[in-house]
Amino acid sequence: MSPETINENLSDIIARIEAARKAAIKPAAATTLVAVTKTHGPDAIHPALIAGQRVFGENRVQEAQGKWPKLHEEYADIELHLIGPLQTNKAREAVLLFDAIQTLDRVRLADVLRAEMDRTGRSPYVFIQVNTGEEPQKAGVQPREAGALIAHARDIGLPLKGLMCIPPADEAPAPHFALLQKLARDHDLPLLSMGMSGDFETAIRFGATHVRVGSAIFGERPKAQP
């Protein structure tokens, strides 16, 4: 995709976010666009940086390690979010590279993140991923187990700030966003990461503070990628 097209897409998404916020009865105080750059290289990312975009999402630690350290040297104020599943053996690298980790979904990972934050002195803020559709193959804590994981993350002093979800691809997203919003309210968590290219306007109606938009900005990804 040409730099001009990426630029236009980005302005278009920013305008749609603003319009959705205006139309919403009770939008969040702010909605941050997380531009999702998985599978895309510096050629695609640079136009977004030049346009002023600073918050980005990647779903694989290794892929992110390959491109972001150099971009970070050019732009000191980048905020990088991990939005894909995290294995405990990659936790140290994730804590070193990312400014936010959106995919905490189990006690063991919480403990490992705590240890790596202590060891490295870094403390990326954390979202718990909730499997709102209770899909067997999908990452995320089950909704009925979210309370226990939230309590554990707080007990060990993780910088837990919010919840994240990816609704089932074949269902209307609104009930999933509503469930995530309710869980966040019940547990007094301020941030809600929900909404992607196809449904971020709906997510904003339910109070999204972070929307994660990839293909609507950078174009379709090769099919093998999630």
Give the length of the chain: 226
Residue of 10, 13, 83, 180 that binds ligand PLP (CB under 6 A): 83
Binding mask 111-150 for ligand PLP (x = CB under 6 A): ----------------------------------------
Residue of 38, 114, 176, 205 that binds ligand PLP (CB under 6 A): 38
Q: Nearer Cβ to ligand PLP, position 137 or 188?
A: 137
Cα→Cα distances 28→50, 64, 74, 142, 210, Å: 27, 29, 31, 24, 9
Tokens matching residue 164: 């994240």
DSSP 40: -
- Asked whether position 59 contacts ligand PLP by CB under 6 A, the answer is yes
Stretch that binds ligand PLP, among 133-141, 148-156, 172-180, 193-201 (CB under 6 A): 193-201
**Residue 162 contacts residue 193 (beta carbons within 8 Å):** yes
- Asked whether position 36 contacts ligand PLP by CB under 6 A, the answer is yes
- Asked whether position 173 contacts ligand PLP by CB under 6 A, the answer is no
Stretch that binds ligand PLP, among 47-55, 69-77, 108-116, 214-222 (CB under 6 A): 214-222
Phi first, then psi: give them for residue 30, nearest 5 degrees: -150, 150
Q: Nearer Cβ to ligand PLP, position 7 or 215?
A: 215
Q: Nearer Cβ to ligand PLP, position 34 or 113?
A: 34
Distance CA 216, CA 126 (A): 25
**Residue 163 contacts residue 184 (beta carbons within 8 Å):** yes
Q: Nearer Cβ to ligand PLP, position 59 or 181?
A: 59
* Alpha-carbon Rg for the chain in angstroms: 17
Q: Which residues contact 167 (CB under 8 A, 6 or more apart)?
A: 132, 133, 173, 176, 177, 194, 199
Q: Nearer Cβ to ligand PLP, position 17 or 36?
A: 36
Contact residues toward ligand PLP (CB under 6 A) are 36, 38, 59, 83-84, 166, 196-198, 212-216, 226
